[in-house]
Amino acid sequence: MFDFTFYNPTKIVFGRGVIAQLPGLIPAGKKVMLVAGGGSIKRNGVYEQIRRALDGRAMVEFFGIPPNPLYETCLEAVALARAEKVEFLLSAGGGSALDATKFIAAAVPYAGKEPWDMFYDWSLVPADPLPLGCVLTLPATGSEMNGGSVVSRKATKEKRYFLSEGVFPRFSILDPQTTFSLPPRQTANGIVDAFVHVLEQYLTYDVTAPLQDRQAEAILLTLIEEGPKALAEPENYNARANLMWCATNALNGLIGCGVPQDWATHAIGHELTALYGLDHAQTLAAVYPGMMQHSRRRKREKLLQYAARVWRLETGDEETRIDAVIARTEDFFRSLGVGTRLAEYNIPKEAGRLVADRLAKQGRPLGERGDLKSQDVEAILQLRA
């Protein structure tokens, strides 16, 4: 097992009607800014529950955070928060609203000229961002229980992230009932997103960390079992609750303790979103089967373990089992309704070269051993044409 540090101070408040607990979670007397997307929280009753819970509190609102939250939009929110002397940020929505909120929390006290620089140098993130909490309405990104923020910049077609202890939500309110009305596409995207978050931390190489392996497999098995149920029965409380708790556990840091991590598929996917506007989960569903195929030698032992323990592929020739588990994974994504081929998203053939070049320019090592080269990135995307 590798050495590690684990720290996660977010308080999770999970269950039916828990938005009503908001008054006890936001310190009294603090001026709150609500940060939200395009207005879905007004349609599903979440906004009303929040306003009722915080009745009488000083509050301003910022609506309009788009999916793949835009830096340009966030800066408007930063200006409002500064002008209104906001003291606490409350995100309401999915991972996009929350990631935007984390960035805004860091950018409000940011003293430099260009807050975007924080994404290139994480040490620039202020030590004391505005405190923030969230009401989560879309299980997917895991942002509700981590210190990460992913933001896109329209002007430069970049999608970047930072990690900082200061932007862990003070609390995250998870009421599975708020997810009953999600469109199937968002539910399916969330399942794929959580699934690939786990694979990025699990499907690498063995370092004798059997507990972390099994904790990862626990999430994968449960997503396979509960994900389709949530899609088929949108108001099945337990299916929604299990899905929501899986997504949180997929990226709260626990399964990544002391093990190698990959994340190359995410790096590639971020570029595809930045260039072509795909949903985040669509990029993962399209790229990950290629990653498995391309890395079948370097990920061999873990692919066989994943095949056996998650998909019960325990007999037969090893190469055949690996072929089968790659197919099963892709089939699972497709069964949820998420396309797994770049052509389905009208991605041109030259995307491979373009993405590889952009990643090479960023200069970050890719893959669990840091040895994926530009030609590997191109090859992976070729496999997924």
- Assess contact for 288 and 364: CB atoms under 8 A: no
CB of 203 within 8 A of CB of 306? yes
According to the binding rule CB under 8 A, does residue 215 interact with a second copy?
yes
Give, rounded to a whole angstrom, the gap between the first and last alpha carbons of the chain: 37
Q: Scan for tokens 């694979």, then name that residue.
A: 199
Strands (E), 122-225: 132-136, 148-153, 158-163, 171-174
Tokens of 11: 């308080």
Using CB under 8 A, pick the residue from 137, 249, 282, 283 that binds a second copy. 249
Window contacting a second copy (CB under 8 A); options: 79-87, 110-118, 244-252, 322-330? 244-252
Does residue 55 belong to the site contacting a second copy (CB under 8 A)?
no
Q: For a second copy, give the closer residue by CB, 254 or 291.
A: 254
Residue 257 in contact with a second copy, rule: CB under 8 A:
yes
The answer to the question of residue 258 lying near a second copy (CB under 8 A) is yes
Q: How many residues appear in the chain?
A: 385
Q: List CB contacts of 272: < 8 A, sequence separation 6 or more.
A: 278, 283, 286, 287, 347, 351, 355
* x/- letters, 10..49, toward a second copy (CB under 8 A): xxxxxxx-x-------------------------------
Alpha-carbon distance of 15 to 317, in angstroms, equals 45
The 3-state DSSP class for residue 32 equals strand
Q: DSSP letter at 291?
A: H
Q: Give the range of 69-77, 96-104, 122-130, 241-249 binding a second copy by CB under 8 A.
A: 241-249
Q: Considering the rule CB under 8 A, would residue 259 count as an interface residue with a second copy?
A: no
242 binds a second copy (CB under 8 A): yes
Spatial neighbors of 113 by CB under 8 A, at least 6 apart, are: none
Binding of residue 254 to a second copy (CB under 8 A): yes
Number of residues counted as binding a second copy (CB under 8 A): 40
Stretch that binds a second copy, among 42-50, 242-250, 278-286, 346-354 (CB under 8 A): 242-250
Interacting residues of 28 by C-beta distance below 8 A, sequence separation 6+ = 57
Nearest distance, CB of residue 4 and a second copy, angstroms: 5
120 binding a second copy? (CB under 8 A): no
**Integer Cα distance of 92 and 45 in angstroms:** 11
User: Nearer to a second copy by C-beta: 101 or 172?
Assistant: 172
How far, rounded to the nearest angstrom, does the alpha carbon of residue 126 sit from its chain's CA centroid?
23
Cβ(145)–Cβ(248) under 8 Å? yes
Which region, judged by CB under 8 A, interacts with a second copy, from 213-221, 282-290, 317-325, 337-345? 213-221
Residue choice 62, 103, 202, 245 for contact with a second copy (CB under 8 A): 245
Choose, by CB under 8 A, the member of 60, 79, 80, 218 that binds a second copy. 218
Binding of residue 208 to a second copy (CB under 8 A): yes
Tokens read off for 231: 């899609």
Among positions 52, 214, 349, 373, the unique one binding a second copy when judged by CB under 8 A: 214
Binding site for a second copy (CB under 8 A): 1-16, 18, 208-212, 214-215, 217-219, 221-222, 225-226, 238, 241-242, 245-246, 249, 254, 257-258
